[in-house]
Copies of this chain bind each other. A is one copy, B any other.
């Protein structure tokens, strides 16, 4: 083996990536443990290793080993035995930071989600999909946990979307927010447009969270909710704007087209449909996050995926729409999709 390695182009052949992938779950476990113990917040306050153990109720040995691991992987630094947060972990994993994304762990690294990937990943590929989340009933409280965890990812794209909508010549008055989750997309629009009324659709348990977030944002007097599946509930007509934030990727193309037809029927004159989603390039392998996202959906849904612009165009056509305009939403990996 050594000889072969040496024969190959220097620096090109290495088991590093393979070993990183084989061991990658250790990293997820470490970051989950650190977030659950609120380690980055405590270290940000300058606590020593001994104090960290006492304040988190953890063993000193456990804290030392976890922190050393986090140093190796770039999440902390260590000098003379004192751990410190990095600028990035201070920003994103210190609970006092407005950019805190630690709660994402409740969704992205939840046991129910990881099980979709790790139970039998080869079977997911063989079957071309997974029962995954479709197996979880509408009233399962896990959806609330997921929606809460999702919030740390969607907050910024919701602000960007609202900025875009507020720039439109004609401000939408009646807005439908489909599969609202934590509700930030509709809520940000309500904050930006004082005349906008939001109707949010999602499972009952999740709507508790979006309603609470609407109260916190001071827009609850213009915030209504309808509980149920977007495919089944009656949400009425006259909408100037219908939002589909991070929703289409859960379903196959014909199902998305069917939903779009239902939405078209509920639009006011000149009403618009806007989706926020991950849109890979036509080659399917860039940019990294959107292109990786179909694997996320393969393992989590029966037939979902991230759609390219040409697939979204086909979807629009099946729904009787003219096409789509896709615009990136930096620094998020999401795109704004305007159905024409």
A residues contacting B by CB (< 8 A) are: 1-2, 4-5, 8-9, 12-33, 36-37, 56-66, 68-69, 71-75, 78, 87-89, 91-93, 97-99, 101, 104-105, 108-109, 111, 114, 117-119, 121-122, 124-129, 155-156, 159-160, 280, 283-286, 288-289, 291-292, 294-296, 298-299, 305, 331
Q: How far is the CA of A203 from the CA of B21 in the complex (A)?
A: 29
Number of copies: 2
Give the docked Cα–Cα distance between A236 and B272 (Å): 83
Q: Are A72 and B298 in contact (CB under 8 A)?
A: no
CA distance A119 to B64 in the complex (A): 20
Contact check, B126 vs A118: say whether CB atoms are below 8 A apart: no
Distance between A82 CB and nearest chain B CB, rounded to angstroms: 12
Are B22's CB and A72's CB within 8 A? no
Whether B126 contacts A88 by the Cβ 8 Å rule is: no
Contact A125-B73, Cβ < 8 Å, known A18-B88, A98-B4:
no
Main secondary structure of the interface of A (DSSP, over half): helix
- Distance in angstroms between the alpha carbons of A305 and B59 in the assembled complex: 14
* Contact B59–A125 (Cβ < 8 Å): yes
Query: Which residues of chain B are near A33, meaning CB under 8 Å?
Result: 121-122, 124-125
- Shortest Cβ distance from A117 into B: residue: B29
| Bound CA–CA A25/B68 (angstroms) | 20
CB contacts (< 8 Å) of A126 on chain B: these are 37, 56-59, 62
Once A27-B24, A295-B69 are accepted as A-B contacts, the answer to whether A15 and B92 lie under 8 Å apart by CB is: yes
The listed residue (B68, B89, B292) touching A73 by CB distance below 8 A is B292
Chain B residue nearest in CB terms to A58: B126
Contact of A127 among B62, B97, B284, B294 (CB under 8 A): B62
19 CB-based A-B contacts, threshold 8 Å: A5-B331, A15-B92, A15-B101, A18-B75, A23-B292, A26-B117, A26-B295, A30-B295, A32-B121, A33-B121, A36-B121, A60-B128, A62-B125, A62-B128, A69-B294, A72-B291, A72-B292, A78-B284, A114-B118
Minimum CB–CB distance from A150 to chain B (whole Å) comes to: 12
Residues of B within 8 A of A25 (CB): 24-25, 28, 109, 114, 117-118
Judging by beta carbons under 8 Å apart, are A285 and B62 in contact? no
Specify which of A15, A74, A104 lies most central, judged by the most chain B CB atoms within 10 Å of its CB.
A15
Residues on B with beta carbons closer than 8 Å to the beta carbon of A305: 61, 65
A65 and B22 within 8 A (CB): no
**Nearest chain B residue, comparing its CB with the CB of A39:** B125
Q: Which residues of B contact A75 (CB under 8 A)?
A: 17-18, 21
Q: How far is the CA of A15 from the CA of B93 in the complex (A)?
A: 9
Chain B residues with CB below 8 A from A89, complex form: 17-18
Using A99-B5, A292-B69 as known contacts, say yes or no to A124 and B17 having CB atoms under 8 A apart.
no
Which residue of the partner chain B has the closest CB to A24?
Answer: B24
Closest 10 CB pairs of A and B: A59-B128, A33-B121, A29-B117, A24-B24, A62-B125, A69-B295, A29-B121, A36-B122, A21-B31, A62-B128
